[in-house]
Structure 1
């Protein structure tokens, strides 16, 4: 088991719950519905990859190696870039901040990290010795 990934997943999971609650109860009062949808997408993908990170942490005990370590790191970076950029876009919309809309270009980079993380997970299990 990879304790660092377990701890990170737990904290990112708690953050996802808190952000999800804020999105469901407070955000609707300050931004348009399409911005709430963007925020909810960030929360949803954060949750998906918290579970992926938990899987990596658990599988690490049976399939230790660099590929699973890379998978976990990619999932964390993906959460920060993908979900984080969607949260930032929502904050910009909520505060009517202009000039920083280019931050949306970061979102697909986070998505690439998610994809690469899943590939590393596959390779880690494929090449690992159980």
Structure 2
């Protein structure tokens, strides 16, 4: 994994979080319930948080590991994107229920990524 890969992935996730956030705040506000909108916003927030982490790790590459990269990247895809799919499919009346169990797997990957960062920082 290269320093550039961390930064580009983080920047891409950050850019998409801005686009999805704007989409949610404007276009989806009219078709989503308040609870659905809150769930969508949670996906956007977690995507942005981990975009920032990836960029930060890219600029502090000595703390980065390939496993961290994959935990944060796959965590974002599984967590945030499954929430987007659940919310949008529910709004269309055809909820993709198979996505429900995927969200916590993404969350678990986030936790593992953060744990790896802690362990790397204290040199374990």
Q: CA RMSD in A?
A: 1.6
Aligned to 2:97: 101
Q: State the TM-score, normalized to the length of structure 1.
A: 0.87
Deviation for aligned residue 1:21: 0.3
Structure 1 residue 63 displacement after superposition: 3.7
1:116 aligns with 2:117: no
Runs of 4+ residues deviating >3 angstroms? none
C-alpha displacement of 1:103 = 1.2
Residue segments in structure 2 that go unaligned for 5+ positions in a row: none
Secondary structure at 1:108 match in 2: helix
For normalisation by structure 2, the TM-score amounts to 0.91
CA 1:75–1:33: 2 relative to 1, 3 Å:
same
Matched, 1:69 2:66: yes
Structure 1 unaligned residues grouped into runs of 5+: none
CA distance in 2, matches of 1:36, 1:63: 35
TM alignment of 1:27-66, pairs within 5 A: 27-60=28-61, 62-63=62-63
Q: Which has the larger Rg? A: 1
Q: Which residue of structure 1 aligns with residue 121 of structure 2?
A: 125
SS class of match (1:28): helix
* Residue 56 (structure 1) shift: 1.6
